[in-house]
């Protein structure tokens, strides 16, 4: 669904804090009247700053697969009227969406790959192991399935692979066995039921322990990635995402765990390479030329003060590129 914002709304807007906002704006190098893509709109925090920095006629195209997030962002960005277009769409289809809307490209683009506080604070969405709710985790609730379907119908081997590969969970095998045994007695349909099962395998750290990682952290991450096919969509975008940028345009991506960041780093290096032929091929035959310049040889990380104010920024890693003219 496409929406062009019109009159302001009096409804309250989200208190969502955008992660690494200042660093993002510096890397985007916004100019007046620029066209900008926010492929993961969320609560609209980054988007609001982008609009403020691209006046008086800069345009923003905001994408998000979550209808609830779009509703919040619509309120937050209402004052910018027709400068803003919102579309319920996955960022992996950014190029196709730009083409469908008649945009020739953008001067800047940002992807914040983290799931938003809007999602985690709503118990009914099932993202949080700290809140009692249905075991859902779908970012787009019009799509079929959900975490409960994965937990109750995936084989033990499939669960082990999910927990190991996408949660990097050391106890993946034992956890998969525990889930299978638990669901034989009763389907696991709530966050509470799954957390109890996880805690039978992975014990909570003692109060004196330095680690504050909840036992369910990795398993919930793995299920969220599986349900929403997050790495698939990121890989799809990274196949040729540089093409959405106009010459001199910049792309910023914020990743929150090593699986995402590794994909981004590898893609950026490939985009910046002078040749993509296999190493054993003695004569270059690819005809490839560098598409971008890497602006962040090492990822930028949040400041201590930001982490103290916004703990969800703790694991953020920011990388940026600029497309050659």
* pLDDT digits 0-9 by tens, 46-63: 999 999 999 999 999 999
Residues 180 and 282 in one domain: no
CA distance 10 to 16: 17
pLDDT of amino acid 207: 57
204 shares its domain with 243: no
Is residue 213 located within the same domain as residue 249?
no
pLDDT surpassing 90 at residue 312: no
Domain range spanning residue 298? 2-118+232-323
Residues 72 and 12 reside in one and the same domain: yes
Answer with the one of 211, 228, 245 that is the final residue of a domain. 228
**16 & 92 share domain:** yes
Three-state SS string over 278-304 comes to: CCCCCCCCCCCCCCEEECCCCCECCCH
242-265: b or e for each residue (b if 16 or more CB lie within 10 Å)? bebbbeebbbbbbbbbebbbebbb
CA quadruple 103, 105, 110, 113: dihedral, nearest 10? 80
Q: What DSSP string describes 182-198?
A: HHHHS---BHHHHHHHH
Domain co-membership, 241 together with 166: no
d(Cα 161, Cα 151) in Å, to the nearest integer?
Answer: 12
Burial profile 154-163: b = 16 or more Cβ within 10 angstroms, e = fewer: beeeebbbbb
Question: Is it the case that residue 6 has pLDDT exceeding 80?
Answer: no
The better pLDDT of the pair 39, 208 is held by: 39
Torsion region of 305: left, alpha or beta (phi above 0 gives left; psi -120 to 50 gives alpha): alpha
Is the same domain home to 99 and 181?
no
- Whether 244 and 114 map to the same domain: the answer is yes
Regarding whether 240 and 223 lie in a shared domain, the answer is: no
Residues 161 and 293 reside in one and the same domain:
no
- For the stretch 184-204, pLDDT in tens is 999 999 999 999 999 999 987
CATH number of 179's domain: 1.10.150.170
pLDDT confidence of 13, banded at 50, 70, 90?
Answer: very low
**Are 106 and 245 spatial neighbours (Cβ–Cβ below 8 Å)?**
yes
Domain final residue, candidates 208, 228, 248: 228
User: What whole-number percentage of the chain has pLDDT above 90?
Assistant: 83
Task: Using alpha carbons, list the distances in angstroms from residue 230 to 11, 48, 68, 182.
Answer: 31, 25, 18, 27
Plot region of 275 (φ>0 → left; ψ -120 to 50 → alpha; else → beta):
beta
The pLDDT value given to residue 204? 74
With 0-12 / 13-18 / 19 or more C-beta atoms within 10 angstroms meaning exposed / middle / buried, residue 276 is: exposed
The reported pLDDT for the residue numbered 10 is: 30
């Amino acid at each position: 669904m496409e929406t062009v914002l019109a009159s302001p709304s009096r409804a309250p807007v989200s208190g969502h804090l955008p992660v690494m906002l200042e660093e993002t704006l510096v890397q985007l190098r916004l100019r007046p009247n620029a066209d900008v893509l926010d492929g993961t709109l969320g609560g609209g925090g980054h988007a609001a700053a982008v609009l403020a920095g691209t006046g008086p006629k800069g345009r923003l195209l905001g994408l998000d697969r979550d209808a609830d997030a779009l509703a919040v962002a619509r309120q937050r960005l209402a004052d910018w009227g027709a400068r803003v277009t919102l579309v319920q769409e996955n960022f992996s289809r950014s190029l196709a969406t730009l083409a469908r809307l008649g945009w020739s490209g953008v001067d800047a683009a940002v992807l914040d790959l983290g799931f938003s506080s809007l999602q985690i604070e709503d118990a009914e969405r099932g993202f949080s192991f700290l809140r009692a709710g249905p075991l859902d985790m779908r970012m787009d609730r019009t799509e079929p399935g959900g975490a409960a379907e994965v937990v109750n119908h995936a084989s033990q081997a499939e669960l082990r692979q999910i927990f190991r590969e996408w949660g990097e969970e050391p106890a993946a095998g034992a956890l998969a066995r525990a889930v299978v045994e638990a669901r034989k007695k009763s389907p696991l349909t709530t966050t509470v039921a799954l957390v109890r099962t996880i805690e039978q395998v992975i014990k909570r750290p003692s109060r004196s322990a330095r680690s504050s990682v909840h036992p369910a952290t990795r398993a919930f991450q793995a299920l969220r990635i599986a349900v929403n096919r997050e790495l698939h969509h990121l890989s799809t975008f990274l196949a040729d995402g540089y093409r959405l940028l106009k010459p001199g345009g910049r792309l910023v991506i914020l990743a929150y765990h090593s699986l995402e960041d590794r994909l981004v780093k590898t893609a950026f290096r490939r985009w910046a390479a002078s040749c993509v032929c296999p190493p054993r091929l003695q004569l270059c035959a690819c005809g490839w030329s560098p598409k971008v310049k890497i602006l962040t040889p090492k990822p930028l990380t949040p400041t201590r003060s930001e982490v103290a104010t916004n703990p969800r920024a703790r694991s953020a890693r920011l990388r940026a590129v600029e497309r050659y003219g």
